[in-house]
Chains A and B, each alone.
Chain A
Amino acid sequence: MVGLFVLVGIFAPWLSPHDPAQQNIGNTLMPPFWEAGGSMAHPLGTASLGQDVLSGIIYGARVSLLVAVCAVFLSGAFGVTVGLLAGFLGGWVDSLLMRLCDMQLSIPFILLAIALIGALGPSMGNVIFVIAITNWVSYARVARAETRSLRERDFVKAARISGTGLARLLAVHIFPNVLNSVVVLATLDIGKVIIFESGLSFLGLGVQPPTPSWGAMLADGRKYVNIAWWLSMFPGLAIMVVALGVNFLGDWVRERLDPKFLE
């Protein structure tokens, strides 16, 4: 399932019957082909400017894929670094970094998103940035916990005594062992991020048209939900199916890498 999602995202331009941004204002809000007024030219119907819904969904996969992967990667990278440093160095560094985490958690994500996107303007890059900024804390916590327990292990102690530099220590000895839990977290996170992105689009803060995004399609569709249910149903289904698939993937990964579930 996830494979399908990724494939669709990558091969979107070949698969999609229309350019998703192509307008057709003579044919707005057409229903899917199985209802009266629909046609096979637009099998899942059209949106408020006549854009083809199916194409929107196909291209939207790209956006969701890109945003999810980049955001998770960025937040993971940042969070893990913070966690490694905090867990290993301890003392005031740990204190400071943990305070940072708590502060981050106390600020409602929505507010941060509104403010940052308001200041920087909505674009894919900024959306990724905002999600990464609000999402790194759980990685930090997991990494920190793991690092702290690893710190006391013999092989680490041995490396320290032999004078290995901090960076090398972290990168070579600690990080690979932390990686397992982080990967579990990351795969589960992808689903969450896809939903975050759609939430941002819902509030008008996400990726802007003409670039199609599932969240934006949902947000648009909600005005017309009484007369054009297909605008909300299909993107919503797409989000659900992909998030489901990614969660399954996450579970599978977890079972392979981590027999005892940590959280």
Chain B
Amino acid sequence: MSFRLTAKLLLRSTLLLALLSPAAYAVPTGKITIAVPSEPGTLDPMRSNNRYNHTFNANMFEALFVRDSRAELVPGLAESVNISSDGLTYTFKLRRGVRFHDGSTMTADDVKFSMDRATNPATKNPMASFLKAIERVDIANPDTIVVKLKERDGAFLKKLAFAGWVIPRRYFESVGEEGFARRPIGSGPFKFKSRSINEFIELEANELHRSNVPKVKDLVYRTIPEDAVRLAELQTGRVDIATEMPPPLMERIEALKDVKAVSHPTGAVYWVVFNVKDGKDNPVTKLKVRQALNYGIDKQAIIKGVLRGQATQVAGALVPSITPPDPTLKPYPYDPAMARKLLAEAGYPNGLKVEMYGSVGRYTLDRDISLAIANSLKGIGVDVDLKLWESSKWVGDLGKKYYPMSYQEFGNTIFDPEGLMIFGVHTKAFWSFYTNPQVDKLIDESMAIIDTKQRNAHFQKIDRLLHEDASHIFLWESKIVMGVKDKLNWTPAPGDTWFKFWDASWQK
């Protein structure tokens, strides 16, 4: 063609494209620096072994279904899903035109590869148990992925949103696992920029994202273990967000000039776990003793005095910010008289001695809380032999050594009560030491229920049973205290600690 014709064609097509393309996103600008006390190990989403991985997974990767910045479950890499009537076949219609951070386009092959890798025992994926219902993943056609389950799983989509991350096959196979750990590539709103282990992790906005291009260009996570130093950095303005601050510092943070103190429900519940499984004739195997202990701790005083109000008492196993508990089920009140009465009925009129194992440095103020609990129980004649062990020793021995009572946290994973039930209550759970065949059966049955309202009702039933059996000493759902710059528009959804930053922005 002649030159002039080519030029005209070019001009016209450019104009056409400019008119047809969707409203351009605002170019991301600015930086958010967040100070965290610890960091993930490898950033490979299928080797996530640490709770700090989850915020990176949520920002850098996507799954067939994802959680948006309000923590709502929404379609992600899949446009829609069709669940067969027997609940065993999930047919996902894949979205077209999804680009990975390296520019390549996502295909069904990448999805199958990722799911297979995640469930393959050779991968050693710590989150593999969330996907254990999967029997096989097939590509029906370039736009459709079919997942066949071994058994019904009512929370399957939620589990996908937590552990079903998709990574590019070609890239992974060319750099290998170690290469991928050094420079991970996904399709999420943020892409990996750089990392200095023990120092910082930098992410930057992914401008190729179809719908969630971040408003902020750079995201820097700085690892600063000392609480006082995180506060100092916040004070001097060198960080914009400081997380996991000790509750007594809340006032101080609020008093800082351009910073607001944020109290964020974590969706994590704290219990004193009874080892009923291996107990033999330990007092805690008796129902009345467990109930007495529940009545005998002044939980409200501890929440007020030690946690400065940064917790909400729970009645059982349903976490308020995630699943509405049955409003007629009230938490155990502080009733020393009742506690003593129960102890006497159980055969301990003069009190009893029991061991409790607490960690130091694993959970916020864990040591202080363990001490306060032991102190409270003294008031009803229970002499607690408190063993406080440094975090790694405590964890290492958990499940191996007999802990009649232990102060533990169970975090939120899939925004569904099943998570807590499976990992904290069921007989088969690794870090749970409670056993009740009736409860186990009900938990197993819950897997088959897909409708949300029915699930909630079912779990409320289980909750009541646990409450009446005093399966644990039910303490509270915790809140973490953060300092956030006033000018930063960012509010994480309650119960969501995998902080998502693509909707965060700076006020002018």
Contacts and interface: CB of A to CB of B under 8 A. Distances in A.
B329 interface: no
A117 B394 CA distance: 12
Contacts of B251: 227
B366 to A, nearest CB: 11
A49 B252 CA distance: 19
B388 A208 contact: yes
Interface string A25-43: 1101100000000000000
A230 B73 CA distance: 48
A42 to B, nearest CB: 15
A118 B371 contact: no
B406 to A, nearest CB: 15
Interface in B260-289: none
Contact of A226 (B252, B305, B388): B252
A95 B231 CA distance: 53
Given A23-B372, A226-B252, A209 B301 contact: no
Contact of A25 (B232, B372, B388): B372
Contacts of A118: 390, 392-393
Interface string B58-74: 00000000000000000
Contacts of B367: 209
B228 A25 contact: no
A29 B248 contact: yes
A199 interface: no
Contacts of B390: 117-118, 122, 204-205
B227 interface: yes
Contacts of B227: 222-223
A48 B390 CA distance: 19
Interface residues of B, number: 29
A26 B305 contact: yes
Interface string A216-240: 0000001111111000000000000
Interface in B226-263: 226-228, 231-232, 246, 248-249, 251-252
A121 B396 CA distance: 12
Contacts of A117: 390
A227 B249 contact: yes
A227 B393 CA distance: 31
Contacts of A205: 390
Given A118-B392, A122-B390, A227-B249, A28 B305 contact: yes
Nearest to B301: A25
A23 B375 contact: yes
Interface in B374-413: 375, 388-393
A50 interface: yes
B302 interface: yes
Interface string A98-139: 000000000000000000011001100000000000000000
Interface string B40-55: 0000000000000000
A210 interface: yes
B221 to A, nearest CB: 21
A227 B261 CA distance: 15
B88 interface: no
A49 B389 contact: no
B480 to A, nearest CB: 14
Contacts of A222: 226-228
A92 B452 CA distance: 77
Given A25-B301, A204-B361, A224-B246, A48 B306 contact: yes
A220 to B, nearest CB: 8
A23 B246 contact: no
Interface in A13-62: 23, 25-26, 28-29, 48-50
A227 B305 contact: no
A125 to B, nearest CB: 15
A209 B305 CA distance: 19
A223 B375 contact: no
Contact of B368 (A48, A204, A225): A48
B429 interface: no
Interface in B105-147: none
Contacts of A227: 248-249, 251-252
B365 interface: yes
Given A23-B375, A226-B228, A49 B393 contact: no
Contact of A122 (B302, B368, B389): B389
B382 to A, nearest CB: 15
A23 B361 CA distance: 20
Given A48-B248, A117-B390, A209-B371, A25 B302 contact: yes
A223 B226 CA distance: 7
Given A25-B301, A49-B372, 14 more contacts: A25-B302, A28-B305, A49-B371, A50-B305, A121-B393, A122-B389, A204-B361, A222-B226, A222-B227, A223-B227, A226-B228, A226-B249, A227-B252, A228-B248
28 contacts: A23-B375, A25-B306, A26-B301, A26-B305, A28-B305, A28-B306, A29-B248, A48-B365, A48-B368, A49-B306, A49-B368, A49-B372, A49-B375, A117-B390, A118-B392, A118-B393, A121-B393, A122-B389, A204-B360, A204-B361, A209-B371, A223-B228, A223-B249, A224-B228, A224-B246, A226-B228, A227-B249, A227-B252
Interface of A: 23, 25-26, 28-29, 48-50, 117-118, 121-122, 204-205, 208-210, 222-228
